[in-house]
Amino acid sequence: MTLRENPLSSRLQRYWFGQYPAPEHREIGPILAAGLILAELLYRGALLIRGVWHRLLDRPTRFPGVRVIAIGNLVVGGAGKTPAALAIATALQSQGIACGLISRGYRSAAEHAAPVVVLPEALHLHNAGQIGDEAWLLCWRTGLPIAVGKDRAAGLARLLALKPELKAVILDDGLQQRWLHADEQVLIIDERGFGNGHCLPRGPLREPVGDLERFSLVIHRSQELDIHPSCWVPLDSLGRGDIAAAPALDLASAAKRFHGQRILAVAGLAMPERFFNDLQQMGLSFESLPLPDHEIHLAQQVQSHWMSGRYDIVLMTEKDAVKFLHSHLAVCAHAWALRQHAQLDANSTERLLHGFKTS
């Protein structure tokens, strides 16, 4: 591939994660390498100033009596934060701990407005464009109330006004926010590790790695967090807005039903290859359609591909499926979403719950 054919973002991704041994590689070049070094220094300086500001002048808000569990990663892109939030919510609920959720609502209307609280019984009144993919999915899968907005402290205040009995809140993608004090910080590490170890834009890190002891719990996606396919959910009922009792198809039955079909596999994720690998391991043959993470017009793009007449069924992730709520698109009658089960290992669960036993 020539330099002109290779977008800068793609080149940086390969450089970040070790496919270029040195910044002097011909596709990075000395000028770009020097610019990245300077930009990283400026970024680190901004992080330092921000940290001092919040320590001295604008300290994160605390809510006595409510344990805040912040989940996040250090590298850009998805590392399994949402599955981890689901697993932690399940662990807390199994112990009878009243908990809620907080989300930024990335690339949604709520991200730039006053925080909104969504109750699970009213979830069908909201769509992913209003509150965000992850927020909608978390509320749907857990049945827990969720506060959505950029200011997480204001969101928690509103959540507690409606649900004062809460003893814990799970803060999705919350390691870099500074509005709300986190009692527990849970770091997710996936197979990419920390890349080349540099901060943006020279590397993929949102903040320096530093001492991992500052985290209450470090979860390796491939070790302590078990994420595996569990069943297939049809989009037809979701497209009509019926989210309460969507039927499911087990993996073995789905393999028989999907075998021999002309399949379009859609993944609007930071790492779409994870979904495609799951399908390959199921023995399915398909045409892949990777789309940008949080793609706003994903439903319309999938509908357009479906109308070409080249496919019998469409398979996608459950995160992408939430964009089809009340869509009434023809493709919904022929589309399925893969539901994944996420579970923490026993040691991580025990460490997480220990804070509640001693508080």
Cβ–Cβ under 8 Å, residues 295 and 267? no
For the cut 90, the answer to whether the pLDDT of residue 81 exceeds it is yes
**Predicted pLDDT at 245:** 66
Q: What is the mean pLDDT of residues 131-151?
A: 96
CA distance 30 to 350: 49
User: What architecture does CATH give domain 67-225+344-358?
Assistant: 3-Layer(aba) Sandwich (3.40)
Amino acid at 224: E
Whether this model's pTM surpasses 0.85: yes
Q: What is the mean pLDDT of the chain?
A: 91
Q: Are strands 67-72 and 184-189 parallel, antiparallel or unpaired?
A: parallel
Q: Side by side, which strands form the sheet with 313-317? A: 249-250, 225-234, 335-344, 313-317, 263-267, 287-290
**Predicted pLDDT at 283:** 94
- Picking from 48-57, 132-141, 274-283, which range would have the lowest pLDDT averaged per residue? 48-57
Domain spans, the chain: 8-56, 67-225+344-358, 228-340
Other Cβ atoms within 10 Å of 271 Cβ, number: 18
Kindly state the helix (H) or strand (E) to which residue 13 belongs, with its residue range: helix 8-16
**Predicted pLDDT at 5:** 40
pLDDT one-digit tens code per residue, 143-198: 999 999 999 999 999 999 999 999 999 999 999 998 999 999 999 999 999 999 99
Domains 67-225+344-358 and 228-340 belong to one CATH topology: yes
Residue with tokens 């506060």, as numbered in its chain: 147
Q: Are strands 249-250 and 225-234 parallel, antiparallel or unpaired?
A: antiparallel
CA distance 188 to 86: 13
Instruction: Return the higher-pLDDT residue of 102 and 353.
Output: 102
**Predicted pLDDT at 15:** 87
For the cut 60, the answer to whether the pLDDT of residue 211 exceeds it is yes
pLDDT one-digit tens code per residue, 268-316: 998 899 999 999 999 999 999 999 988 999 999 999 999 999 999 999 9
Residue 240's closest CA among 305, 335, 144?
Answer: 335
Residue 69's closest CA among 100, 111, 47, 94?
Answer: 100
Q: What is the mean pLDDT of residues 69-93?
A: 94
Amino acid at 202: R
**Predicted pLDDT at 357:** 66
Q: What is the mean pLDDT of residues 312-323?
A: 97
Indicate the class that CATH gives domain 228-340: alpha beta
- Picking from 5-14, 46-55, 219-228, 287-296, which range would have the lowest pLDDT averaged per residue? 5-14
Instruction: For the chain, give the percent of residues with pLDDT over 70.
Output: 94
CA distance 345 to 87: 10
Split at pLDDT 50, 70, 90, the class of 27 is low
CA distance 191 to 214: 21
For the cut 70, the answer to whether the pLDDT of residue 116 exceeds it is yes
Instruction: Return the higher-pLDDT residue of 222 and 315.
Output: 315
Cβ–Cβ under 8 Å, residues 224 and 186? no
- Computed over its alpha carbons, how large is the radius of gyration of the chain? 21
CA distance 281 to 303: 26
For the cut 70, the answer to whether the pLDDT of residue 358 exceeds it is no
Q: What is the DSSP string of 46-110?
A: HHHHHHHHHHHTSPPB--TT-EEEEEE-SBSS-SSHHHHHHHHHHHHHHTT--EEEEE--TTSGG
Q: What is the dihedral of CA 183, 215, 153, 64, to 10 degrees?
A: 10
Instruction: For the chain, give the percent of residues with pLDDT over 90.
Output: 81
Split at pLDDT 50, 70, 90, the class of 1 is very low
**Predicted pLDDT at 55:** 86
Split at pLDDT 50, 70, 90, the class of 326 is very high
CA distance 344 to 84: 8
CA distance 179 to 24: 40
Residue with tokens 């204001």, as numbered in its chain: 154
